[in-house]
Amino acid sequence: MISQTEENYLKVLYNLTSLKGEASVNDISKQLDIKMPTVNSMMKRLAEKKLVVYESYKPLKLSVEGKKLAALIIRKHRLTEMYLVEKMGFGWENVHNIAEQIEHIQAPEFFDKMDELLGFPKVDPHGSPIPDADGNIASDNYLKLSDCKVGESVTFMAVQPSSEDLLKFLTSRELSLGLELKIKQIEPFDGSMVISYANKENEMLSSKVCDKLLVSKKSKKK
Amino acid sequence: MISQTEENYLKVLYNLTSLKGEASVNDISKQLDIKMPTVNSMMKRLAEKKLVVYESYKPLKLSVEGKKLAALIIRKHRLTEMYLVEKMGFGWENVHNIAEQIEHIQAPEFFDKMDELLGFPKVDPHGSPIPDADGNIASDNYLKLSDCKVGESVTFMAVQPSSEDLLKFLTSRELSLGLELKIKQIEPFDGSMVISYANKENEMLSSKVCDKLLVSKKSKKK
DNA sequence: TTATTTTGTTAGTATCATCTAACTTGTTAA
DNA sequence: TTAACAAGTTAGATGATACTAACAAAATAA
């Protein structure tokens, strides 16, 4: 058996390693706001459980098994977020904290039921892919809005990483997933972009925002 | 702050004391399958937090505050059970374990939303009353089916206590809440009853079952 | 009413998940 | 290339939640 605490370490390690394949004790420490020695001993424990690859003074990796387990926790988190938004009427900026708790529920039938009621969704309310029941996750090959060029027209696919403040901001601008964004102008000085979408003309978005909006060029559906 | 473990002790104590107003260390120990010394020290801890009234060698009671807190946990449990049955399609015999975990979620808006989506229900799927947001609980003055007499006609209002096996049994006999039960016969030897309801004629129910079915004489609605 | 059994309590131990202090290893900058 | 700093590790402490063993009080039976 694996505790909620251990699950949280796995999940954070999964997210941290998804970029470079490895992470440091220090990274996890900062992410979870837990002191390094605590993280260190937890990593040793998870290594004994064959979920983490640990060698003194070397970067941390998840084992294959650890990666699968983490993906299944993330599956529960994202299914829950989707359920909260689609079936219960919560806003996409209010579901993270609830999902953070519900992801630890041990009842496969509960999450299977959500999945079914939702029609087996592929992504969560923020556009992040939902791992399947075997822990396999589709890689979204989206690009950052901030990497696009003037004149391009792209589809808004995901927010990553999605903080509550950012999501509130996007809501206030009526910026929701699936919209066609037309890049009208890019300010060379600070990288902020002027975008048109839906019935909005020439809305200004800072580079900090554009950095977190993921888009696809050929407007994909589903 | 109160831990999940502490919440479980409070809840069990609430249920045990709801009959006689007090409970013993031994009762809790058996209920939770936790050894007496552990229960003992937990009671002292809860007494320090002013949730339990503890005196050496005396029966345990909940304080007013402890009673309210316990009722609010039970509120979350019962709302969840109702939600699982009404909105997600679970059977009434399969919701207890899931609700047992979800009752510890710290997110009032989550339970408020359930309440609202359910139309502010007064009882859970097993007929037990749902405490209100202040922790007040309506007392159901039902009687046991086993205390009724031949010839009486009563309404099936609740199952208490409701084990998974009992609920499955009731489902298999198509015995659901709200039905009119006509008591045809009572076997003096073992107290088993012969009952007619819906399109069923003369179904035999053991006294062990009849002991756990709560009924009202004047068929109440809602 | 005394003896026996059940219930409650104390004391001491273990594990998990956290911490601080101190030391070691690795990295970076003078 | 060594001195300083950052990152990683070890050791030891703490609080929460469990345990067993041993003892004390209360309830029950002989």
Minimum-distance CB partner of A105 among B87, B88, B101: B101
Let me know whether A49 and A93 are in one domain: no
Q: In total, how many domains does chain B have?
A: 2
| Predicted local distance difference test score (pLDDT) of residue A219 | 44
Which amino acid is present at B10? L
Average predicted confidence (pLDDT) for chain B: 96
| Predicted local distance difference test score (pLDDT) of residue A196 | 97
CA A146 to chain CA mean position, Å: 18
Q: What CATH number is given to the structural domain containing A44?
A: 1.10.10.10
Let me know whether A132 and A152 are in one domain: no
Residues 95-154/B with CB < 7 A to strand C: none
| Predicted local distance difference test score (pLDDT) of residue A180 | 97
Question: Are B194 and B185 within 8 A, CB to CB?
Answer: yes
Looking at the domain assignment, is residue A68 inside a domain?
Answer: no
Looking at the domain assignment, is residue A67 inside a domain?
Answer: no
Looking at the domain assignment, is residue B77 inside a domain?
Answer: no
Q: A113, B88: Cβ pair inside 8 Å? A: yes
> Average pLDDT of B189-217?
96
| Predicted local distance difference test score (pLDDT) of residue A222 | 38
Looking at the domain assignment, is residue A188 inside a domain?
Answer: yes
Looking at the domain assignment, is residue A174 inside a domain?
Answer: yes
Q: B109, A94: Cβ pair inside 8 Å? A: yes
Walk along chain A (222 residues) and give the pLDDT tens digit of each residue: 899 999 999 999 999 999 889 999 999 999 999 999 999 999 999 999 999 999 999 999 999 999 999 999 999 999 999 999 999 999 999 999 999 999 999 999 999 999 999 999 999 999 999 999 999 999 888 999 999 999 999 999 999 999 999 999 999 999 999 999 999 999 999 999 999 999 999 999 999 999 999 999 874 443
Minimum-distance CB partner of A98 among B87, B101, B110: B110
Final residue in a domain of this structure, among B47, B62, B77: B62
> Please, which pLDDT band fits residue B103 given cuts at 50, 70 and 90?
very high
Looking at the domain assignment, is residue A153 inside a domain?
Answer: yes
Residues 9-68/B with CB < 7 A to strand D: 33-35, 37-38, 41-42, 45, 57
CA dihedral in degrees (A205, A16, A1, B91; nearest 10)?
20
Whether the CB of A37 is less than 7 Å away from nucleic strand C comes out as yes
Rg of the Cα atoms in chain A: 19
Let me know whether A121 and A160 are in one domain: no
Structure tokens that stand for B158 in this block: 């609740």
Please give, one letter per residue, the 3-state secondary structure of B36-73.
HHHHHHHHHHHHHCCCEECCCCCCEEECHHHHHHHHHH
Q: What CATH number is given to the structural domain containing B197?
A: 2.30.30.90
| Predicted local distance difference test score (pLDDT) of residue B112 | 98
> Please, which pLDDT band fits residue B222 given cuts at 50, 70 and 90?
very low
Chain A residues within 8 angstroms (CB to CB) of chain B: 84, 87-90, 94, 97-98, 101-102, 105-107, 109-110, 113-114, 117
Looking at the domain assignment, is residue A42 inside a domain?
Answer: yes
d(CA B97, CA B119): 24
Q: How many CB atoms lie within 10 A of CB A58?
A: 10
Let me know whether A133 and A172 are in one domain: no
A92-125 residues labelled b (16+ CB within 10 A) or e (exposed): bbbbbebbbbbbbbebeebbebbbebeeebebbb
Looking at the domain assignment, is residue A69 inside a domain?
Answer: no
* Host domain of residue B154: 143-216
Final residue in a domain of this structure, among A139, A162, A184: A139
Q: B101, A98: Cβ pair inside 8 Å? A: no
Return the minimum-mean-pLDDT range out of A217-221, B135-139, B190-194.
A217-221
Question: Are B76 and B116 within 8 A, CB to CB?
Answer: no
Final residue in a domain of this structure, among A32, A62, A92: A62
> Please, which pLDDT band fits residue B140 given cuts at 50, 70 and 90?
confident
CA B90 to chain CA mean position, Å: 18
